[in-house]
Amino acid sequence: NAGVMQNPRHLVRRRGQEARLRCSPVKGHSHVYWYRQLPEEGLKFMVYLQKENIIDESGMPKERFSAEFPKEGPSILRIQQVVRGDSAAYFCASSPPWGGGGYTFGSGTRLTVV
Amino acid sequence: DQQVKQNSPSLSVQEGRISILNCDYTNSMFDYFLWYKKYPAEGPTFLISISSIKDKNEDGRFTVFLNKSAKHLSLHIVPSQPGDSAVYFCAASASNTGKLIFGQGTTLQVKP
């Protein structure tokens, strides 16, 4: 499969639990981006990562949210102590080193906090 | 601060007619613009892009126009087909940042 793989597709967590969202980029892509889509809203940038580096995390909430893209394995978006307002669709995208051409998006993880 | 704006939340057109989706931006550092299409429960898929050195790019039924002085771009779909019904997102980037900034999206409905 040449696309961006996100799992799980659906995730239900109780308030206060932790949510871990995984993203495997397109083979050969070294850049990963996470976006969040709240109900009835557009895609909001959260974080931009390269292998072992966070390049831009200006869209990440200051608390409870973290992201990593290790040398080996998928990128992880981690949300600690989830609250109802974290319920959203989280999309991961990947790209080669920037030279135009756009991103390839995954199908998203739909997080529901109950 | 909404740097990329799609002011029309929805658009409805008849099959076979032209669909025109509009997008405005405020950041003069943006030099690359893209349109994405999104179906429910799926991720956005890349449709067409344009560099700031051009004012038009065409790919089959899809054409993107860029007016840099007005900070405005538009996507034309002609002829429109029912399968084009989806949410369309405009996005922009500055080459020194690498990240895409998206508009709020426009829901296009093409009626048979």
Q: What is the pLDDT of residues B61-78, one digit of tens each?
A: 999 999 999 999 999 999
**Predicted local confidence at residue B58, as pLDDT:** 97
**Predicted local confidence at residue A91, as pLDDT:** 97
Mean pLDDT value of segment B14-38? 96
pLDDT surpassing 90 at residue B2: no
- In terms of phi and psi (left: phi > 0; alpha: psi -120 to 50; beta: otherwise), the region of B60 is left
Residue of B nearest to A39 (CA): B104
Residues of A in contact with B45 (CB under 8 A): 105
- Mean residue pLDDT across chain B: 94
B105 touches chain A (CB under 8 A): yes
pLDDT surpassing 60 at residue B17: yes
Task: Give the pairing of strands B56-59 and A88-95.
Answer: unpaired
Residues of A in contact with B101 (CB under 8 A): 45
Residue A43's Cα: distance from chain center in Å? Answer: 12
**Predicted local confidence at residue B98, as pLDDT:** 75
CB proximity under 8 Å: A 31-70 to B = 31, 33, 35, 41-45, 48, 55-56
| Local confidence pLDDT in tens for the 114 residues of chain A | 469 999 999 999 999 999 999 999 998 888 999 999 987 788 999 999 998 999 999 999 989 999 999 999 999 999 999 999 999 999 999 988 755 557 899 999 999 999
**Predicted local confidence at residue A38, as pLDDT:** 87
**Predicted local confidence at residue A26, as pLDDT:** 92
CB B11 within 8 A of CB B108: yes
Q: Amino acid identity, residue A56?
A: D
CA B98 to CA B89: how far, in whole Å? 18
**Predicted local confidence at residue A101, as pLDDT:** 57
**Predicted local confidence at residue B57, as pLDDT:** 97
Q: Say which range, A37-51, B25-39, B47-61, has the weakest mean pLDDT.
A: A37-51
**Predicted local confidence at residue A85, as pLDDT:** 94
Q: Report the percent of chain B where pLDDT is more than 90.
A: 90
**Predicted local confidence at residue B46, as pLDDT:** 93
**Predicted local confidence at residue B85, as pLDDT:** 97
**Predicted local confidence at residue A48, as pLDDT:** 94
Burial label, B88 (beta-carbon count in 10 A; 0-12, 13-18, 19+) = buried
CA B83 to CA A81: how far, in whole Å? 41
